[in-house]
Structure 1
Amino acid sequence: MTAVTGGGPPSPPPLVVVPGMLCDADLWSDVVFPEGHPVRHLELTEPDIGAMAEDLLSSVSGPFVAVGLSLGAVVAFEALRRAPERFLGLCVMSANAGAPRPDQYAAWRSMAGLIDDGRFADVVEQTLPGMFPVPRPAAEPAERYRRMAFSVGPGAARAQLAAQTTRRDTIGVLRTARCPAVVLSGSRDALCPPDFHRAIARAVPGAELREVAGAGHLLPWHSPSAVSAALRDLLARVRETPPPASRTSARTAPPTP
């Protein structure tokens, strides 16, 4: 299925690509995106998941395919809650659809306090081990992560921590999805282990689950070929999927709280 612009021929739908916390477009720089599809990289700078979801929905007009990692997947889930009719496809990885745990709230408060005290570098070092399939990554990938995190900066990081506290369980939302979906899991992801992804794949009707052996949380760095292949196959399914009669390119109003 492709998007139709005006009265002309169908055009490939755009991909809205949403990174994880302390990540930017460099997270995806090794991934080969399907040819012909516009790619829109989203920056996460709002202190609320709902506001981030609205940024996603306003980043393109009409239907799109969402691609999200970790916090980016959470943002995609919230966008799905608000405008399911605009989703032509969904690719999520290194993700958790559950509500935050008490230990996560405590960790986010601690990191926010460090940033407020001017110790952003300490936050980067605290988060670094969980990004990789081994607790002590080699010098080059560790430095690459540091560069990316400092490119995001303490201001956006502080907003992302605030947004994390506004997360909520989205398993029920995922059961309402009506688009092709693929869920990618790194077998050695310490932050979002494979069980998290099995729960997501069970919730999304018809979702395909792919576990990538040896990969950690930053799956697009650890196995860009697996991510590239998953996107290519997902877009093939999108092209073959007829649009539901109820789906339109118009936005629907967010549900009343």
Structure 2
Amino acid sequence: MKTSQMVMVPGLLSTAEVYRSQTKAWGGSVLVAETRLDDTIEGMAWRLLERASDRFLLCGHSMGGYVALEVLRLAPERVSGLALIATSAWPDTPEQTALRGRLVQLAQDRGIEQAAKLLEPKLFAAGTATEELRRLNISMSAEIGTEVFVRQQAAIIGRRDQRPLLATIGVPTIVVSGTADAVIPAERSHEMAAAIPAAELVMLGGIGHMVPLEAPQDTDAALATLAARVAAA
């Protein structure tokens, strides 16, 4: 791969471990964005921009995709290529916001592990939910903790509608989604790929929401493809 910096943005309740395969496969420098300190997506995006190199490739999974799109809104000239994985440009719906409130209350009352266990069936497709991935999910959630979970949920609830941004994205883009994603419907990826002028859509059959962990080799390949497109541009 090219040696450009890749900035990887984790999703809700995820640490750098969610990108363990991609970090190992990437041939250049890797920065895993800090998503634990801010209670707005814009704040996370500004923190990323403060730490990243002048120009970089950008990869966001789930909540990380919300941050990645905000980075494109704030500083499009800094991004040379974009990977959007199991994410959406839509704002939160009232139903989603209500569910997040219940999850926050559960985490505060009974602990973050209980909230993580409740979320687990939606995160992994039936055929990918190995015991190792279940343990990793709980481990990442425990490391994130309840306080950060509350901040991250507040940031997600307050995120802006990024659909108007999509048509302005002028860099090579790859949109990756699992057909069995029970968190963000696959049609959101179809919509984004159709709206972004330089986007390529990769649909992974039988894969759920945690694409980088459930389909690590496919995710590695998608990022390699993106890097090749950026190099050729």
Partner of 1:100: 92
Partner of 1:42: 33
Partner of 1:239: 231
Which string of whole-angstrom CA distances, capped at 9 and with x for unpartnered residues, describes residues 141-177 of structure 1?
2122111111122221111011111112111112111
1:20 aligns with 2:23: no
Please give the secondary structure, in 2, of the residue aligned with 1:217: coil
- Is contact 1:47-1:159 (8 Å) kept? yes
Q: Which runs of 5+ in 1 are unaligned?
A: 1-10, 242-257
Which string of whole-angstrom CA distances, capped at 9 and with x for unpartnered residues, describes residues 31-71 of structure 1?
34331x21001121211111011111112131111101000
Partner of 1:164: 156
- Is contact 1:15-1:64 (8 Å) kept? yes
Aligned length: 230
Please give the secondary structure, in 1, of the residue aligned with 2:159: coil
Letter in 2 for 1:229: A
TM-score by length of 2: 0.93
Please give the secondary structure, in 1, of the residue aligned with 2:122: helix
TM-score by length of 1: 0.85
Letter in 1 for 2:165: V
1:68 aligns with 2:44: no
Q: Structure 1 residue 181: deviation in Å?
A: 0.4
Structure number, greater radius of gyration = 1
User: Using the alignment, how far apart are the partners of 2:25 and 2:167 within structure 1?
Assistant: 27
Please give the secondary structure, in 1, of the residue aligned with 2:100: helix
User: Using the alignment, how far apart are the partners of 1:214 and 1:80 within structure 2?
Assistant: 30
Letter in 2 for 1:53: A
User: Using the alignment, how far apart are the partners of 1:216 and 1:166 within structure 2?
Assistant: 25
Alignment of 1:173-252 (within 5 A): 173-241=165-233
User: Using the alignment, how far apart are the partners of 1:174 and 1:201 within structure 2?
Assistant: 9
- Is contact 1:98-1:170 (8 Å) kept? yes
Q: Which runs of 5+ in 2 are unaligned?
A: none
Please give the secondary structure, in 2, of the residue aligned with 1:92: strand
Q: Structure 1 residue 118: deviation in Å?
A: 4.9
Q: Structure 1 residue 187: deviation in Å?
A: 1.1
RMSD over aligned Cα atoms: 1.7
> Sequence identity, in percent?
32
